[in-house]
Amino acid sequence: MKIYRNAIRCNICGQVIESAHHYDFVRCKCGACAVDGGTDYLRRVANRGDYTELSITDESIGAQPPEFLGKVVVVTGGAQGIGKCIAEMFEAQGAKVAIIDVQDNPYFVGDVAKKEDMEAFVQKVIRDYQQVDYLIHNAKPITVGIEEGSYEEFCNALQVGVAAPFYLTKLCMPWFGRNAAVVNISSSRDRMSQPQTESYTAAKGGIAALTHAMAVSLAGVARVNSISPGWIDTTDAQVDGADAYQQPAGRVGSPEDIANAVLFLCSEKAGFITGENICIDGGMTRQMIYHGEYGWERK
Ligand SMILES: NC(=O)c1ccc[n+]([C@@H]2O[C@H](COP(=O)([O-])OP(=O)(O)OC[C@H]3O[C@@H](n4cnc5c(N)ncnc54)[C@H](O)[C@@H]3O)[C@@H](O)[C@H]2O)c1
């Protein structure tokens, strides 16, 4: 096991440098970073945010540093469900996660429908971490239909689902680190509907289009992609029978199915992907249904 006490990994050349003795001043091979063992603190001598602090006892660090170690991740709606799973998966890889949610959570309780809450939240993130690497817009808009839904409810869904991703991204833009990424959580409902779902569906259509608009505007600043989940069970329920088999994959999805894709889109493996949407629905939107087939008939 490798134990780092006073070490950094340079984000430019990737070298891990350590300083064990008080007279050591060790510089990485590209010269962007240095560790000063004498004063027992990590010293950066070049650009802001170009190193990752290694202060964790972790044998995996010695072999290959986890890609998200020390990265700063913002997750909206991270108190439960898919957002919580995304937050936990990033944390497990050493990232620092900042959640905003109306529900109780370890970081910031606030409403992304409120401009002042978003501003206070981003101020706190910057005060705590000085930068943002990944921004995950996941908070869930309400569903109201055209018959029963009010004008105010419809507008609230668009505030949570579209205006908040726009404004939070705008607030974070000056603070994006190198290789920053934004992931918008849309829904397969951005392309298909049930009756009486207008507010949610419009919000998901909005965030899907916002994705390619921001991908173009943020070229060179951050990659911007969206994920459209299908039926994702966030309750550990046992879903089987027709509910499972209506998906060609033969099951409903799990929060991990979405979180894995979020981490992939944030990683350097996805460095050539921007403005794109991935629909993760077990193939449900690809299944054509005809009268009399697969037990389906109109009654
Ligand atoms: N679960 C699914 O089947 C499914 C399918 C398609 C898309 N999605 C999308 O995935 C995302 C997460 O869904 P989920 O199933 O985990 O939902 P969830 O209801 O379990 O969690 C949503 C979270 O968003 C928070 N939130 C809601 N309004 C907020 C606001 N105004 N400000 C701050 N936080 C707010 C809630 O408190 C909650 O913690 C949503 O965007 C949802 O539309 C989910």
What ligand 1 atom has the least distance to the C-alpha of 253?
3
pLDDT computed for residue 239 by the predictor: 93
- Measure 274 CA to ligand 1 centroid, in angstroms: 23
Could you report the per-residue pLDDT of 231-264, keeping only the tens digit for each? 999 998 999 999 999 999 999 999 999 999 999 9
Structure tokens at 277: 């949407």
d(CA 193, CA 243): 17
d(CA 187, CA 158): 14
Domain 72-286 has CATH 3.40.50.720: yes
- Measure 148 CA to ligand 1 centroid, in angstroms: 21
Could you report the per-residue pLDDT of 199-223, keeping only the tens digit for each? 999 999 999 999 999 999 999 999 9
Average pLDDT (62-73) is: 80
B/e letters for 73-106, b = 16+ CB within 10 Å, e = fewer, are bbbbbbbbbbbbbbbebbeebbbbbbbbbbeebe
CA–CA–CA angle 183, 69, 255 (5° rounding)? 45
Q: 185 vs 290, which has greater pLDDT? A: 185
| Angular region, 53: left φ>0, alpha ψ -120 to 50, beta rest | beta
Q: Is the pLDDT of residue 27 over 90?
A: no
Q: 146 vs 296, which has greater pLDDT? A: 146
70 lines ligand 1 (CB under 6 A): no
pLDDT computed for residue 1 by the predictor: 42
pLDDT computed for residue 44 by the predictor: 43
- Measure 185 CA to ligand 1 centroid, in angstroms: 9
Q: Where in the chain is the domain with CATH 3.40.50.720?
A: 72-286
pLDDT computed for residue 61 by the predictor: 43
Q: 8 vs 37, which has greater pLDDT? A: 8
Pairing of strands 33-36, 96-101: unpaired
Model pTM? 0.82
d(CA 47, CA 68): 19
